[in-house]
Amino acid sequence: MKVQDIDPSAFLVDGGQWTAREIAHQPAVWAEAMAQAAASDLASWIAQALSDPRTRVVFTGAGTSAYIGDSLVPVVARRWSRIVESVPTTDLVAAPRSGFPADVPTLLVSFARSGNSPESVAAVDLADAMLAQCRHLVITCNADGALAAAAAARPDARLLVLPDRTNDRAFAMTSSFTTMLLVAARLFGVITEAPSVAGEAALRHGAVVARELVDAGFDRIVYLGGNALHGLAREAALKMLELTDGQVIAMHETPLGFRHGPKTIVNESTLVVMFISNDPLVRAYDLDLLRELRADGRARRVFAIGAQPGDRAAGVDLVVEGLADADEFGTIAPFVVIAQLLALRRSASLQLTPDQPSRSGTVNRVVRGVVIHPMATEG
């Protein structure tokens, strides 16, 4: 089935033209980027790199790019039976000995939209300095970024630059996040095709849901996702925080972890959004908490998003079509589209400019002001 670009006009808000466009074109861009990945030899290169069972995989990036690794770790570890970790570049440069605790063969997979954050190149340099054997895979949206240049100059590195449309011009990462996530999953043999049809369904539903929830009002939001969906919950919370310039308090948790203290955030101005897992065991815990939160009656609204036809009978508000047979990972990209639209609509309701929401100008599309300090020598 050919995936068409979706007209972004249904999502447009004042000052958010780029954000709306980049959210809307995701299903088509996913299909394009997946075809690009399939035509490359990177999957076989990864398989060769992982032929040594000692090889450790480390996914890295900063901010939203770090959450790609969080989402990939469970499925890649299961697929390859290897040690797989997600360590943000911001942690690697500050505590490299913790990020690279042992000199073992390593495949460092770096994700970056622009590739110009100071930590991006520094993390690659530190890996080479600390490890005798380290291969690099760089997945980026910017052919002209510093990280792309660093990868091109290394004989032990491979570079994949995604279609230019993934290099989001708006402040917030939207299509860059989902496309890097799906392409990496394709290269590591986790998925074979993009959930583009489900993504289109998520766009249709998301436009209606975002308007409904924003019109109802909320000043706090909690995103809950368990197991493989926790990275999704983290990214959804960050999108809301970024696009509302911090005016909406946003947090994330796992459904089981939420009861252990974080639940105190819930009050009459709180919207709780639950991502219901397709894994039967995780889903059972999700639905337990969904019933509990509704019985508490404290939140402004508890809104659940799922993918199973039977979820409606269990009280799930929105069931995204086309994902009933997907594993947990397969639901992430379509689900996050809904969170992106919700953040866009809430930003506009605050009379912000979603394409550049920071009124103070102290938060930027590409991080500034980072000084990379030399690693202290052990004495």
What span, in angstroms and rounded, lies between the C-alpha atoms of 204 and 338? 9
Phi, psi of 329 (to 5 degrees): -60, -40
Phi, psi of 360 (to 5 degrees): -80, -20
Reported residue count of the chain is 379
Q: Determine the distance from the C-alpha atom of residue 288 to the mean position of all C-alpha atoms in its chain, rounded to a whole number.
A: 26
* pLDDT given at position 55: 96
Q: What is the pLDDT of residues 100-143, one digit of tens each?
A: 888 899 999 999 999 888 889 899 999 999 999 999 999 999 99
pLDDT at 186 over 90: yes
The residue ranges of every structural domain in the chain are 8-187, 196-349
The pair of three-digit structure tokens given for residue 100, joined into one six-digit string? 């690279």
DSSP designation for 225 = -
Domain 196-349 homologous superfamily, CATH: Glucose-6-phosphate isomerase like protein; domain 1 (3.40.50.10490)
* pLDDT given at position 376: 62
More confident residue, 319 or 98: 319
The pair of three-digit structure tokens given for residue 111, joined into one six-digit string? 């994700």
Q: What is the pLDDT of residues 292-325, one digit of tens each?
A: 999 999 999 999 999 999 888 999 999 999 999 9
Region of residue 322 (phi > 0: left; psi between -120 and 50: alpha; otherwise: beta): left
Q: Of the CATH numbers 3.40.50.10490, 3.20.20.70, 3.10.180.10, 1.10.10.10, which one belongs to the domain with range 8-187? A: 3.40.50.10490
* pLDDT given at position 362: 57
pLDDT at 368 over 70: no
- In 3D space, the residue among 295, 294, 298, 334 whose CA is nearest the CA of residue 318 turns out to be 334
Q: What is the pLDDT of residues 152-166, one digit of tens each?
A: 999 999 999 999 999
* pLDDT given at position 158: 97
As a whole number, the mean pLDDT across the chain is 93
The pLDDT-based confidence of 89 (bands split at 50, 70, 90) is very high
